[in-house]
Structure 1
Amino acid sequence: MTNTLSQIQKHLKIVKLRSQIQNLDSDDGSWFLSLLLQKISDKLPANQKLIIVIDSLDAIARDSQPSYTNLFYLPRYLLDRTYFILARRPFIKEKSGLLIEAPSQTLDLRDYPDRNREDVLNYIQQSSSIAPQLCQQLATYSENNFMYLSQMLRALDGRSHSNANLEEMPSFFSEIPSGLAAYYQNHWQRMGGDSLSAVELAVLKVLVQGRSNLSVSAISDIVDGDEYEVEKVLDNWYEFLNLQQIDGEICYSLYHSNFRDWIERAIDNS
Structure 2
Amino acid sequence: MMTLSSLHAVSQAQAPALPRRAGLGLKPEHFIEVLDTSPDIGFFEVHAENYMVAGGPFHHYLGLIREQYPLSLHGVGLSIGGEGPLCRAHLARLATLIERYQPHSFSEHLAWSSHGPVFLNDLLPLAYDSTTLQRVCEHVDQVQSALKRPMLLENPSTYLQFQRSTLDETDFISEIIRRTGCGLLLDVNNVYVSCINHQRDPQSYVDALPLHAVGEIHLAGFAEDTDSLGDRLLIDDHGSPIDNAVWQLYERVLERVGPMATLIERDNQVPAFNALLAEAQHAEWHLSQVSP
TM-score scaled by length of structure 2: 0.25
Larger Rg: 1
Higher-helix-fraction structure? 1
Bigger relative contact order, structure 1 or 2, given CA contacts below 8 A and separation 6+?
Answer: 2
